[in-house]
Amino acid sequence: MQAIILDTETHTLNGQPIEIAYAPVEINEGKLTLDKTQIFDQLYRVDEPISYAAMAVHHILESELVDQPHYKTFTLPNETIYIIGHNIDYDIRALEKCGVDCKNIKAICTLALARLVWPDAEAHNISALIYMITKGSAKARDMIKKAHRADMDIILTANILMHEIHHLKIKTIEELYQASEDARIPRSINFGKHRGTTIADLPADYMQWLLRQEDLDPYLRKAIENAKIVTL
């Protein structure tokens, strides 16, 4: 399994994973295939109670976790190189809480790609995109009713990804990764007094200040560094 679509549900926002699901995918000459017969879906015990806010999203109850393995027993399938997900950084952080080493993983974000492909969409969450793609079909509604559980979310994400691949004329999984990396680089600043300003038009002293921030988003850092090279 070199490439998987993966989704996690956590016990609280940015918390420990209580459900992890994934399925292997391939891209051959621009065609995405997902093998539903190999979907992995497992609930996990965690060290703290599930928050009610999280429970309201995924509807996983404490009673369902009692006899499940501890979340730190999770391991990725051998030879995993690419992990695909909607807002994939959230899932990567959840995997790292399990003790999974993700430093060499090539993460592909379908959310970033959605914002590139459909910049004028009303919303870019999974449910809204599925309704948009299907023009509000009854079948989409039936699928979305099962969303916010990891197994259904990977199937819905695969549907979105299929359209992204078509729009961007992606032929291989590596091309998809490169497109995702480019899509994740911001073109404008989305916070602070310069909110809405394109990166290239930011004042030089503000760029320098941002680059000194240790917790600066790595993709924003890349955008600023690229802009500085262009303006030299």
- Tell me the pLDDT tens digit for each residue of 10-34: 999 999 999 999 999 999 989 999 9
Report yes or no on 75 lying in a domain.
yes
Over the stretch 114-170, which tens digit does the pLDDT of each residue have? 999 999 999 999 999 999 999 999 988 988 887 777 788 999 999 999 999 999 999
Report yes or no on 189 lying in a domain.
no
Distance CA 187, CA 191 (A): 13
Q: Are both 111 and 206 inside the same structural domain?
A: no
Over the stretch 87-123, which tens digit does the pLDDT of each residue have? 999 999 999 999 999 999 999 999 999 999 999 999 9
How many domains does the chain fold into?
A: 2
Q: Are both 24 and 134 inside the same structural domain?
A: yes
Q: Are both 124 and 213 inside the same structural domain?
A: no
For residue 6, which of 131, 110, 91 has the smallest C-alpha distance? 91
Q: Are both 11 and 96 inside the same structural domain?
A: yes
Q: Are both 106 and 145 inside the same structural domain?
A: yes
Distance CA 121, CA 231 (A): 32
Report yes or no on 132 lying in a domain.
yes
Distance CA 180, CA 116 (A): 9
Question: Residue 172: pLDDT above 80?
Answer: yes
Which pLDDT band holds residue 232 (cuts at 50, 70, 90)? very low
Report yes or no on 117 lying in a domain.
yes
Report yes or no on 207 lying in a domain.
yes
How many Cβ atoms are within 10 Å of 136's Cβ, its own excluded? 10
Query: Residue 229: its pLDDT value, please?
Result: 63
Distance CA 31, CA 40 (A): 22
Q: What angle do CA 1, 66, 64 make, to 5 degrees?
A: 70
Q: Are both 210 and 161 inside the same structural domain?
A: no
Q: Are both 148 and 208 inside the same structural domain?
A: no
Report yes or no on 7 lying in a domain.
yes
Q: Are both 105 and 219 inside the same structural domain?
A: no
The one-letter code for the residue type at 101 is D
Q: Are both 106 and 19 inside the same structural domain?
A: yes
Q: Are both 10 and 99 inside the same structural domain?
A: yes
Q: Are both 60 and 162 inside the same structural domain?
A: yes
Q: Could you list the residue range(s) of the whole structural domain that residue 221 is in?
A: 199-231
